[in-house]
A and B are shown apart, each in its own frame.
Chain A
Amino acid sequence: MGRYVVQRLVTMVVVLWVIVTLTFFMMRAIPGGPFASEKNIPEAVLQNIERRYKLDQPLWKQYTDYLSNVIVWDLGPSFKLEGVTVNDIINRGFPVSATLGALSVLLSLAVGVPAGIIAAMRHNGTADRVTMALTVLTISVPSFILSTVLQYVFAFKLRWFPPALWGSWKHMVLPTLALSSFSMAWIAKLTRSSLLEVIGQDYIRTARAKGLPEAVITWRHMLKNAMIPVIAYLAPLTAALLTGTFVIESIFAIPGLGREFVTSIANRDYTVTLGVTVFYGALLVGLTLVGDLLTALVDPRIRLEGD
């Protein structure tokens, strides 16, 4: 187990280095630059600006400097936001995105798991059909459309919640709903199909034949095994919800990291794009590792390499 974790950590570092390198050179390869504008800047002024941000250095020098700074987690200054560092941007943007992502994970589980259980237990009944119809509907509606509908109904018409911005719990309700809609439905579907598969297994029939109470069979034997795929899905889901919030953040004007990331690409704010990519990269590989470890803990059949 310990050896496995060490191996994975080493792989993580290599993966992160590849991410940094690819992003660094890809950003520089695409046309445009942080100071391009419709109103052209005189050449002398442009040179001064490039010198200020060390963009006048040879590319290899910029790259090696960047790498040595990343190691000590100094992600450099933003080229567009005057007086702001990339570390500042991550420190203030990530907690917001993380809150939104975490709330969405919790909501997805809180609604998706019970809905999936009810559907499986009432297999082919009305509850199953209604749940599955709702699931298909929710999966097919893109989050940006759902966001607009939520804003219209709950903010504009009913005035229960503010339509945008961040600050109080009320601001979190609509974006959390919009962000978790897909995963909520997906978890319901996953729980249902997994549970149905388990219900048909021999050991369940054996348990019934032994005369175990139905509640014990359901909770101890069925759910335990049926939840394994759901738990395996949690790590990529958490990663996706933490990193994939930029559409929701734009629509609801939330000051999260996803919005910063998208803006930085459009602005060619190299350091911000790179810094956020590295940060999200580390988060993703870290969460994947946590996910694998959790799955192995839950399911003894899974053996980790290196054990």
Chain B
Amino acid sequence: MRRWISVFVVASLLTLAVAGCAGGKQQQPQQQPGQQQAQQQPEQPKEQVVRFNNGTEPETIDPGLSTGIPEANVENHLFEGLMRLDAESKPVPGMAERYEVKDNGTTYVFYLRDAKWSNGDPVTAHDFVYAWQRVLDPYTASEYAYQLYYVKGAEKLNTVPLKDKDGKDRPEADVKKDIEAAKAELGVKALDDKTLEVKLEAPTPYFLSVAAFHTLFPVNKKAVESGPDWFRKPETIVTNGPYLLKEWKPKEKIVLVKNPNYWAANEVKIDRLEFYPVEEASTALTMYESDQMDVLDDVPVAEMDRLKKEKAGELMIRPYLGTYYYLFNTTKKPLDDPRVRKALSLAIDRNAIVTQITKAGQIPALAYVPPGIPDVQGDFRKNGGDYLKDNDVETAKKLLAEAGYPDGKGFPKLTILYNTSESHKAIAEAIQEMWKKNLGIEVNLTNQEWQVYLDTRTKLGYDIARAGWIGDYVDPMTFIDMFTSTSGNNDTGWKNPQFDDLVKRAKATGDQATRMQLMHEAEKLLMDQAVVMPIYFYVEVDLQKPKLKNVIVHLVGGHDFSRAYWEK
């Protein structure tokens, strides 16, 4: 018996010892949401704090190396580019006080305001030159380096070969020599400390929007050179935005506090921002409903009906520059026939999909480019109009018969591919049912894990595949140019010289009216050929405490609380 007791005690001590490993971690300051809520009245915090569910852990907050929205959400508060996006997602001066556009839209001169880095250094034009050269340096290996390819010589610098023809590393001295030469030719120059000149490859009317994008944010050379994880620690990160990094506990929270040295600090009302990486949407909702979170950027579809009734004033539905659509593999029979593709596209009821499945106010998509992009006058989508009639079964049947499949007879059994997700599945099932009922054709459904799905798509190993596209900047080109013959994003196998020519001409012209007209023509061609089947235009669905005002949500994604405030 005594021996048994001793064994039991040893086992218990062992487990306690393991538990003790985390003893330090258990002692946290008082700012946990659970405790904070006890000290503060819900919706009326004494301190101006915003607790936001960022959805996931940022992979980095080095603006030159990041790619995702959760990263950009934090970076948008810590850093500021030459421009920043306002409440309408229009670029307004940020670090640049003003700018001039010259040479038929191919040269931009930015005049910087008096702004400081958080270490007290002035923000200069040289910081931008350094940051952009760093992003484009092939040794940096920035995934989003191509966001800078509008700048003259940027692609050349970024593609300086690191290997020889045999695939072996070239001598570092030779590579560095080539990089330095390419840097000297790069179209970014500091004319003086406060003046930055940017020369572009071609007129790019949306370049000011691009200048507000995180890849083009300045970074502080001294900070970057302090180590590869310079941005992870408050003591090493140096920033120029409205907030400073106070604390980063991986997978727990990121805390930012107001930067008193920010040039527009008087416009910043929220003292403290807390970003949480809660991945389960239902958990985040429970946190929101128990007043431990102020803003959620994702709402479970299953709760949508209840929330619409119970939290009508808090459910914020905002425009989001994205399209949910199906891709056709145009290299495969019978999808190589535009009549078949068009018939499939016409025979679905988009309105039923958005009202009965997605339920959050998504807009049925009867064209490809989403609304919200300014045209020469008005909105690009409104001017372009619809290219389809929703649920046009009659025309669909006619087209299918013309293609040789009257009432679906003889139509081979195709497969819809989607990445694993309940909502993608529900939509695919609805479309499967619609095609069966309306056209008499049967399709299979198959789901794949995200990475496998991407691989299948890229290799054209599918028949019909679910897809989604969110614009990088507010211009139709971000949607249009992905379907050129050479685009790496064109996963349809569709190649059309006429389309390529339209895009090429649109990219070369400095005349905005001509450019927009060419993009309208390109979209019409894409829709006439039914290369894709648009289903709905995305919306950004947030839950936000009613007394929190002036939260900016960019059309291209990303939250900005720098001008938000709590209403008394």
**Chain B residues, CB < 8 A from A112:** none
Asked if B33 lies at the interface with its beta carbon under 8 angstroms from chain A, I say yes
In angstroms, Cα B251 to Cα A67, docked, is: 29
A252 touches B283 (CB 8 A): yes
A residues 46-82 in Cβ contact with B at 8 Å: 47-49, 51-52, 56, 80-82
Could you give, for residues 216-231 of chain B, a 1 whenever the CB lies within 8 Å of some chain A CB and a 0 otherwise?
Answer: 0000000000011111
- Looking at the complex, which one of B143, B282, B289 makes contact with A35 (CB distance below 8 Å)? B143
Selected interface stretch from B96-104, B155-163, B194-202, B362-370: B155-163
State in angstroms the CA–CA spacing of A105 and B67 once bound together: 41
Count how many chain A residues have C-beta atoms less than 8 Å from C-beta atoms of the other chain.
79
Which residues of A (127-155) have their CB < 8 Å from a CB of B? 148, 151-152, 155
Interface stretch, picked from A18-26, A164-172, A202-210, is: A164-172
Residues A48 and B162 in contact, CB atoms below 8 Å apart: yes
With beta carbons under 8 angstroms apart, the residue of B59, B143, B292, B488 that contacts A163 is: B292
Name B158-183 residues within 8 Å CB distance of A: 158-159, 162-163, 167, 169
Knowing A45-B145, A253-B278 touch, does A224 contact B1 (C-beta < 8 A)? yes
Supply 18 further A-B pairs (C-beta < 8 A) apart from A81-B59, A102-B18, A251-B280: A31-B456, A45-B158, A48-B141, A51-B163, A52-B141, A56-B167, A82-B66, A82-B228, A82-B231, A83-B62, A83-B231, A98-B19, A105-B15, A164-B280, A169-B26, A242-B18, A255-B252, A294-B7
| Contact code string A155-167 (vs B, CB < 8 Å = 1, else 0) | 1100101111111
Which of the residues A99, A266, A298 comes within 8 Å of B26, measured between beta carbons? A99
Residue in A151, A152, A162 whose CB lies within 8 Å of B33: A162
Does A95 sit at the interface, judged by CB under 8 A? yes
The answer to whether B454 touches A37 (Cβ under 8 A) is: yes
The A-contacting residues of B in range 448-474, CB under 8 angstroms, are: 449-452, 454-456, 458, 467-469, 472
Q: Cβ of A163: which chain B residues have Cβ within 8 Å of it?
A: 283, 286-287, 290, 292
Query: Do A102 and B25 form a contact, CB below 8 Å, given A163-B287, A166-B252, A294-B7?
Result: no
A residues in contact with B139, CB < 8 Å: 48, 52
Least Cβ distance of A179 to chain B in Å? 13
Q: Does residue A231 face the partner (Cβ distance < 8 Å to B)? A: yes
Q: Please, could you name 29 A-B residue pairs with CB atoms under 8 Å apart, sorted by A?
A: A32-B454, A33-B451, A36-B454, A37-B143, A38-B469, A39-B472, A39-B489, A40-B458, A45-B142, A48-B140, A51-B141, A52-B139, A82-B60, A82-B231, A98-B21, A103-B19, A161-B34, A162-B32, A163-B286, A163-B290, A164-B283, A168-B32, A168-B35, A172-B26, A231-B7, A231-B11, A251-B280, A253-B283, A266-B450
Contact between A152 and B249 (Cβ–Cβ < 8 Å)? no
Q: Counting CB contacts under 8 A, is B146 at the interface?
A: yes
Bound-complex Cα distance A238 to B18 (A): 11
Contact A44 to B26, CB < 8 A, known contacts A30-B452, A52-B141, A255-B252: no
Say whether A83 contacts B232, CB under 8 Å.
Answer: yes
What are the residues of chain B within 8 A of A116 when measuring CB–CB? none
**Which residues of A are found within 8 Å of B289, using beta-carbon distances?**
156
Dominant secondary structure of chain A at its interface with chain B: helix
**Which B residues between 43 and 81 are near A, CB-CB below 8 angstroms?**
57, 59-60, 62, 65-67
Q: How far is the CB of B237 from chain A (nearest CB, A)?
A: 11
Nearest residue (CB) in A for B167 is A56
Which B residues are CB-close (under 8 A) to A260? 251
- Residue of A42, A93, A106, A151 near B146 (CB, 8 A) is A42
**A301 at the binding interface (Cβ < 8 Å):** no
- B interface footprint on A218-248 (CB within 8 Å = 1, 0 otherwise): 0110011001000100100010001000000
B280, A41: Cβ atoms closer than 8 Å: no
Q: Does B162 lie within 8 Å of A253, measured CB to CB? A: no
Does B287 lie within 8 Å of A51, measured CB to CB? Answer: no
Residues in B lying within 8 Å of A, measured CB to CB: 1, 3-4, 7-8, 10-12, 15-16, 18-19, 21-22, 25-26, 28, 32-35, 57, 59-60, 62, 65-67, 138-143, 145-146, 158-159, 162-163, 167, 169, 227-232, 249-253, 276-280, 282-284, 286-287, 289-290, 292, 449-452, 454-456, 458, 467-469, 472, 488-489
How many pairs of A and B residues are in contact by the CB < 8 Å rule?
Answer: 215
Asked if B34 and A168 sit within 8 Å, CB to CB, the answer is yes
A259 CA / B283 CA spacing, docked (Å): 15
**Shortest 7 CB-CB contacts between residues of A and residues of B:** A32-B451, A162-B34, A83-B229, A255-B251, A82-B60, A40-B488, A95-B22
Known: A92-B250, A171-B34, A268-B451. A156 touches B18 (CB 8 A): no
Q: Does A212 contact B (CB under 8 A)?
A: no
Contact A159 B290 (CB under 8 A): yes
A252-273 interface (Cβ within 8 A of B): 252-253, 255, 259-260, 263, 266, 268
* A43–B488 CB distance below 8 A: yes
With A49-B143, A164-B278 in contact, do A95 and B451 touch (Cβ < 8 Å)? Answer: no
Q: Are B60 and A102 in contact (CB-based, < 8 A)?
A: no
Say how far A193's CB is from chain B's closest CB, in angstroms.
19
Rounded to whole Å, the gap between the CB of B388 and the closest CB of chain A is 24
Chain B residues positioned under 8 Å from A31 (CB to CB): 451-452, 455-456
| Contact assessment for B283 and A266 in the assembled complex, using a CB-CB cutoff below 8 Å | no
Chain A residues lying within 8 Å of B252, measured Cβ to Cβ, are: 165-167, 255
Taking the closest CB of chain B, its distance from the CB of A27, in whole angstroms, is 11
- Is A98 in contact with B22, judged by CB distance below 8 angstroms? yes
Q: Which residues of A contact B468 (CB under 8 A)?
A: 38
Judged by a CB distance under 8 angstroms, whether A84 is at the interface is yes
Contacts of A219 in B (CB 8 A): 1
Question: Smallest Cβ distance from B70 to chain A, in angstroms?
Answer: 12
